[in-house]
């Protein structure tokens, strides 16, 4: 709240509404944690499990026979049309509450679940998989397999990369035998290389974005993850104030480009440019502290806390996750879990 007040004083009263909105988001996270405490993560995983099962039941028949999607849209008792016109192009998303269909669905069927974009759904599923690994102390449990299969049906570039990175780092650390570790790393590298070269939504998509950085930055205001990162870092350095206190959330200050309605989707550089370098560092450190406390509470290895942060940084390259209330709750998890760890330690040392 102090940083928001500094930004308000510097940028002016036109940022007041965005300041209030951010305070409400953070307050929601605090209240939710206050109610659920150490049950927050198990409750989240349980909810995501239900969502994953429902989305698979609805999506797999569509994947086998795409025309089923049209039948569902035409006959669903719950149907909302969400119309947007980015760059003057009319786009319609069909929301059936339990599953959504984006404008490009007829050309590229992807499991979006109840989310607004497959990448976001895939990202939340990867986060759930890592958290579930902490809770169950293994990746390939029944519930873990459910999340992995659902991630694969999103066909999300960043979700795939984050999944590969998580599995690769986890088993590189977990496997005790040096020989097996080297063999698994080589096999994993070959698998990732094949996926990158053969899957169009991985290698080709990333290469195209790299080639179009200049166009996306200059013409479209940075609406790709690469161009977004480039412009965010460039604009952060315009004034010393921005480096230490950020540019804030209000579009007039957030974007130096002429297009103030652009959707910059690199969440990592977005976090950096909105809040400044000191807050960015504090955010990362608090995330690690929170999940170290979580690992201690559930009896998991501490290295999973670092893997979680690294995985989240990969996911954050393509979505502005860090502005969502759920991620503020993740940053603040150290409060209930450290308190509970301390209580359990005292109960062990001084049993009644």
- Determine how many CB atoms are found less than 10 A away from the CB of residue 178: 8
Question: What is the pLDDT at residue 284?
Answer: 93
Question: What is the pLDDT at residue 242?
Answer: 85
Q: Indicate the pTM of the whole model.
A: 0.85
Angstrom distance (rounded) from CA 292 to CA 310: 14
pLDDT tens digit sequence for 38-67: 899 999 999 999 999 999 998 998 888 888
Angstrom distance (rounded) from CA 239 to CA 118: 36
pLDDT tens digit sequence for 102-122: 887 777 888 898 898 888 999
Question: What is the pLDDT at residue 123?
Answer: 92
pLDDT tens digit sequence for 64-110: 888 888 888 888 888 888 777 766 667 778 888 788 888 877 778 88
Question: What is the pLDDT at residue 193?
Answer: 66
Angstrom distance (rounded) from CA 46 to CA 42: 6
Question: What is the pLDDT at residue 110?
Answer: 87
Question: What is the pLDDT at residue 51?
Answer: 94
C-beta of residue 272 within 8 angstroms of C-beta of residue 232: yes
Question: What is the pLDDT at residue 326?
Answer: 92
Question: What is the pLDDT at residue 234?
Answer: 82
pLDDT of the chain, 352 residues: tens digit per residue: 688 888 888 888 778 888 888 889 989 999 999 898 889 999 999 999 999 999 999 899 888 888 888 888 888 888 888 777 766 667 778 888 788 888 877 778 888 988 988 889 999 999 999 999 999 999 999 999 999 999 999 988 888 888 988 988 888 888 776 777 677 667 766 766 665 555 554 545 555 555 555 555 555 555 566 777 777 788 888 888 888 888 888 878 877 777 666 777 788 888 888 888 999 999 999 999 999 999 999 999 999 999 999 999 989 888 888 888 899 999 999 999 989 888 887 766 555 5
- Determine how many CB atoms are found less than 10 A away from the CB of residue 310: 16
Question: What is the pLDDT at residue 200?
Answer: 54
Question: What is the pLDDT at residue 72?
Answer: 84
C-beta of residue 51 within 8 angstroms of C-beta of residue 95: no
Output the six-digit token pair for 348.
């062990």
Give how far the C-alpha of residue 107 lies from the chain's centroid of Cα atoms, to the nearest Å: 25
Q: Name the strand (E) or helix (H) holding 83.
A: strand 80-84
Question: What is the pLDDT at residue 223?
Answer: 58
């Amino acid at each position: 709240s102090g940083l928001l007040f500094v930004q308000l004083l510097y940028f002016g009263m036109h940022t007041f509404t965005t300041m209030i909105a951010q305070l409400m988001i953070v307050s929601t996270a605090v209240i939710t944690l206050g109610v659920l405490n150490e049950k927050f993560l198990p409750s989240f995983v349980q909810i995501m499990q239900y969502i994953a099962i429902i989305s698979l039941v609805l999506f797999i028949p569509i994947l086998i026979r795409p025309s089923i999607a049209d039948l569902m849209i035409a006959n669903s008792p719950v149907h909302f049309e969400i119309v947007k016109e980015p760059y003057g192009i009319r786009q319609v998303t069909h929301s059936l509450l339990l599953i959504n269909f984006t404008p490009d669905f007829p050309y590229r069927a992807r499991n979006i679940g109840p989310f607004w974009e497959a990448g976001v759904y895939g990202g939340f599923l990867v986060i759930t998989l890592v958290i579930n690994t902490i809770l169950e102390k293994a990746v390939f449990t029944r519930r873990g397999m459910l999340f992995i299969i659902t991630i694969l049906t999103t066909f999300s570039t960043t979700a795939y990369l984050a999944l590969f990175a998580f599995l690769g780092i986890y088993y590189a650390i977990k496997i005790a035998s040096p020989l097996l570790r080297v063999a698994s790393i080589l096999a994993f590298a070959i698998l990732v290389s094949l996926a990158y070269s053969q899957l169009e939504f991985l290698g080709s998509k990333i290469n195209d974005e790299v080639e179009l950085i200049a166009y996306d930055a200059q013409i479209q205001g940075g609406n790709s993850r690469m161009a977004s990162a480039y412009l965010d870092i460039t604009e952060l350095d315009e004034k010393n104030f921005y480096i230490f206190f950020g540019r804030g959330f209000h579009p007039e200050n957030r974007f130096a480009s002429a297009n103030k309605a652009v959707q910059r989707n690199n969440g990592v550089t977005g976090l950096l440019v909105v809040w400044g370098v000191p807050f960015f560092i504090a955010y990362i450190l608090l995330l690690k502290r929170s999940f170290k406390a979580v690992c201690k509470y559930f009896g998991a290895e501490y290295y999973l806390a670092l893997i979680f942060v690294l995985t989240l940084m990969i996911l954050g390259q393509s979505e502005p996750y860090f502005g969502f209330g759920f991620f503020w709750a993740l940053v603040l998890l150290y409060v209930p879990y450290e308190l509970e760890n301390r209580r359990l330690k005292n109960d062990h040392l001084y049993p009644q």
